[in-house]
A and B are shown apart, each in its own frame.
Chain A
Amino acid sequence: MRMLINVPETVVADALRGMAAAHPELTVDVDNRVVVRRDAPVAGKVALVSGGGSGHEPLHGGFVGPGMLSAACPGEVFTSPVPDQMVRAAAAVDSGAGVLFVIKNYTGDVLNFEMAAELAEDEGIQVAKVLVDDDVAVTDSLYTAGRRGTGATLFVEKIAGAAADEGQPLERVEAVARQVNENSRSFGVALSACTTPAKGGPTFDLPEGELEFGVGIHGEPGRERRPMMTSREIADAAVQAILDDMTPRNPVLVLVNGMGATPLLELYGFNAEVQRVLTERGVAVARTLVGNYVTSLDMAGASVTLCQVDEELLRLWDAPVSTPGLRWGR
């Protein structure tokens, strides 16, 4: 597999140097792997810190800026960052109003963020945590690590970020983040495996004419393999899987998310099918976002995330945001 890199070992550092050059509004500490908004800490306001393995860009570094994250900690590809990074990020952005850690539900992310929260509290920083676990493809039971955090992470970071930007206190920002997660569900499919720099080849073999159904964002196979389906059939199945788990009473935000290697042409076509199913099922759509936001390196495929919103959450969603990956209203 041909990759536009130098050597696998420097992929993350190289990307951070490039990000620093492209975005002077961010402070990028390449050595310590922390991306911080340049005007942090913002007096009197709660700060949001997230992070996770690299390979999901623009998540999380691309969502740092006014109205969203205060800082992000990129780990190695598909590997959670280490506690040192998170403590450094928290110290850089805390204005005294406290810090909310936004954590995707993976064993590694949870363990490292929990260690970091303890260390940050030792340094006198008030820390709250919210866990994102929206992927309905994983059965949430004693026999799994629980549902994965995927597309809903974008909704949590945007909406809680807006609440923080308005000057809402930490417990309120945390409650908003939790509310967004509880009202979000996702489902994804992969049409190809992805290529990690460390391995240099596909992470699993997917025969021609088949797809992975119920896939995560780390190149792991899905719950099952199915014969290739059309965009219409995938939209029916993905929305069905979500609605089996959540019956929206309010209008929904829709995220039709590309995994990295599926062209926007296909994503928009897929969105048309998703909107068709939602209309058929009587689900009102408040806003729609289509694009590559929570990716899995060069995986082909897409996920659908629905988040039901009341007027307050919708107002926070519409509030201005100014980050490399998401920008409107300012």
Chain B
Amino acid sequence: MLDADFFRRWMTATSASVDREAERLTALDSPIGDADHGSNLRRGFAAVTAALEKEAPRTPGAVLILAGRQLISTVGGASGPLYGTLLRRTGKALGDAPEVGPEQLAEALRAGVDAVMQLGGAAPGDKTMIDALVPAVDALADGFGAARAAAEQGAEATTPLQARKGRASYLGERSIGHQDPGATSAALLIAALVDAGTDGE
């Protein structure tokens, strides 16, 4: 079972890997975006970690709702509302149970991803974070490792796509040949589930 501590570790691990990979995310955002994805997410997840330390929410759902609110209030851009909504809606779907099973997490994450698709209007294949998140949620039944692999594959598979949402879509065909920074950071979020699971054992 996964408790509030697991979800706190998930957010901390995400913060650490976003911090580590910030320059790579910003570099991916240069040719098809505006070169700030890494610094924006770094600022957001640092605020998440600080808020979790201060408020110490006691249920998995409360951890994710607090994290989502922090992202909405600190990141800006499109990634703030989108990542914020992902975590808030996943947290809401978890309810106020003190512990949740992996199946419940998968189900809640699917609700979160659906909310992101609704808010941003993106579908799979549009070259966005959705291209990493949807396969990850589908693979979650086979464990965190499988979800991580699926998310990373999904992110890599955005390279040949033409962007149809967000700022990269302005480039039309010129967006082809670049890996999507949003899908790449989404894969970091999913990969951090593995770290959170390992650290607790």
- B171 contacts across to A, CB distance below 8 A: 220-221, 223
With both beta carbons as reference points, the residue of chain A lying nearest to B165 in the complex is identified as A145
CA distance A216 to B77 in the complex (A): 16
Chain A 172-197 against B: per-residue CB contact (8 Å), 1 yes, 0 no? Answer: 00000000000000000000000010
A154 within 8 A of B: no
CB atoms of A216 and B170 under 8 A apart? yes
Contact between A221 and B34, CB atoms less than 8 A apart: no
B104 contacts the other chain (CB 8 A)? no
Q: Is B36 an interface residue (CB 8 A)?
A: yes
User: Within 8 Å of chain A (Cβ to Cβ): is B65?
Assistant: no
CB within 8 Å of B: which A1-26 residues = 8
Question: Which residues on A sit within 8 Å (CB–CB) of B40?
Answer: 76, 79
Asked whether B35 lies within 8 Å of A198 as measured between CB atoms, the reply is: yes
A220's partner among B34, B39, B72, B81 (CB-CB below 8 A) is B34
Chain B 27-51, CB within 8 Å of chain A: the 1/0 string? 0001111111011100100000000
The number of inter-chain residue pairs (CB within 8 angstroms) is: 114
Identify whether the interface residues of B are mostly helix, strand, loop, or mixed: helix
A220-B169 in contact given A76-B76, A82-B72, A144-B164 (Cβ < 8 Å): no
* Cβ-defined contact, B77 with A203, below 8 A: no
B36 contacts A77, C-beta separation under 8 Å: yes
Question: Given that A112-B80, A219-B35 are contacting pairs, would A82 and B166 also be in contact in the complex, using a CB cutoff of 8 Å?
Answer: no
- Evaluate whether A143 and B36 lie within 8 angstroms (CB atoms) in the complex, with A76-B76, A80-B76, A223-B171 already known: no
Contacts of A45 in B (CB 8 A): none
| Cross-chain contact A145 with B174 (CB below 8 angstroms) | no
**What's the nearest-Cβ distance from chain B to residue A13, in Å?**
13
The reply to whether the CB of A83 lies closer than 8 angstroms to some CB of chain B is yes
Classify the secondary structure of A's interface with B. Answer: loop
Q: Which residues of B contact A261 (CB under 8 A)?
A: none
Q: In whole Å, how far is A284's beta carbon from the nearest beta carbon of chain B? A: 32
| Chain A residues positioned under 8 Å from B120 (CB to CB) | 107, 111
- Whether B75 is near chain A, meaning CB under 8 Å from some CB there, is yes
| Nearest-CB residue, chain B, relative to A33 | B76
Interface hits, A84-128 → B, CB 8 Å = 84, 106-108, 111-112, 115
Please tell me if B160 contacts chain A, counting CB pairs below 8 Å: no
Is A221 touching B174 in the complex (CB atoms < 8 A)? yes
What are 17 contact pairs spanning A and B, CB under 8 A?
Answer: A8-B39, A76-B36, A76-B43, A76-B76, A79-B36, A107-B165, A107-B166, A107-B167, A108-B76, A112-B77, A115-B81, A145-B169, A196-B35, A198-B39, A199-B26, A220-B34, A220-B170
Closest 5 CB pairs between A and B?
A: A108-B77, A108-B78, A111-B81, A107-B78, A144-B169
